[in-house]
Amino acid sequence: MQNPIENIESPIINIDKLSLSYGGDKYAINDVSAGIAKNKITAIMGPSGCGKSTLLRAINRMHELNPDTHNKGTIYLGKDDIYEMNPILLRRRIGMVFQRPNPFPTMSIYDNVIAGYLLNGIKLKRKEKDEIVEKSLREVGLWSEVKDSLHSRGTFLSGGQQQRLCIARTLAYTPEIILLDEPTSALDPIATAKIEDLLVKLKKDFTIVLVTHNMSQAARISDYSMFMYLGELVEYGKTKQMFTMPKDKRTEEYLTGKFG
């Protein structure tokens, strides 16, 4: 197992020489190695098509929903090789939030929060469910806004509220790590700021990996940043260092808007 960042604080995930193909011998990401620090926000940046979402999805094996994928190398969660784990249990430990808020349209706000349990046939007592719903909605700052309409559909909420509901749904299933794929790209600046503040608050209890196109977002909230280009992890380090003194010319050109 290699960790290219020697000084990374307590990596919870180790990506070890990972290459991933959607079919054939073309790889969407190539030989990526990186440790992900616990209780920090790690941003993955880079131009369109460079492999950001592919790398993110590989961390909880979501890419396998596409049956033609194959990979070389692996990822460790602690000491465990994730490709030897049960993917359902893995996804409970590593939750995911998507670009477009996607509450289940036929479910109430209440059921959306506990959807992980409902969809996996995990039975809970009414009191347990009530506690999980309230705790998760409080964690995302949505409780006071929705406590009187818990049994209405989640789709009546604003886009920002829907995204916070989706984050509550992920938190309710008690993950250790949360993966977010451009979670604010469909939101206005006020809703975006709320999600950014929320992520900074959540890193106390969770490890966060965030794909973003928005460089200022990465600069504002992430502790570590990865810059990917054409499937390669070009540069990875502390965000402040990368934004002030990038080591690679391609990183510098991307961060100064020369391409992207």
Ligand X SMILES: Nc1ncnc2c1ncn2[C@@H]1O[C@H](COP(=O)(O)OP(=O)(O)OP(=O)(O)O)[C@@H](O)[C@H]1O
**Residue ranges that bind ligand X, judged by CB under 6 A:** 22, 28, 46, 48-54, 66
> Which helix (DSSP H) or strand (DSSP E) does residue 137 occupy?
helix 126-139
Distance of CA 108 to the CA centre of its chain: 24
Q: How far is the CB of 65 from ligand X (least distance, A)?
A: 9
Give every strand in the sheet of 224-229, ordered side by side.
94-97, 177-181, 207-211, 41-45, 224-229, 232-238
- Measured from the CB atom, the residue of 69 and 108 that comes closer to ligand X is 69
Token couple for 181: 């794929």
Cβ–Cβ contacts within 10 Å for residue 126, how many?
A: 7
- Measured from the CB atom, the residue of 51 and 183 that comes closer to ligand X is 51
- Measured from the CB atom, the residue of 61 and 194 that comes closer to ligand X is 61
Q: How far is the CB of 212 from ligand X (least distance, A)?
A: 9
Q: How far is the CB of 235 from ligand X (least distance, A)?
A: 15
Do 113 and 71 meet the contact criterion of CB atoms below 8 Å apart? Answer: no
- Measured from the CB atom, the residue of 66 and 174 that comes closer to ligand X is 66
Token couple for 72: 């070389």
Query: Nearest CA to 88 among 64, 52, 71, 124?
Result: 64
- Measured from the CB atom, the residue of 63 and 169 that comes closer to ligand X is 63
Question: Distance from first CA to last CA of the chain, Å, rounded?
Answer: 32
Q: How far is the CB of 101 from ligand X (least distance, A)?
A: 17
- Measured from the CB atom, the residue of 28 and 157 that comes closer to ligand X is 28
Q: How far is the CB of 160 from ligand X (least distance, A)?
A: 21
Q: How far is the CB of 243 from ligand X (least distance, A)?
A: 19
Dist. CA 176–CA 151, nearest whole Å: 28
Q: How far is the CB of 144 from ligand X (least distance, A)?
A: 34
149 CB contacts (<8 Å, ≥6 apart)?
109, 156
- Measured from the CB atom, the residue of 46 and 183 that comes closer to ligand X is 46
Give every strand in the sheet of 80-81, ordered side by side.
27-37, 11-21, 70-77, 80-81
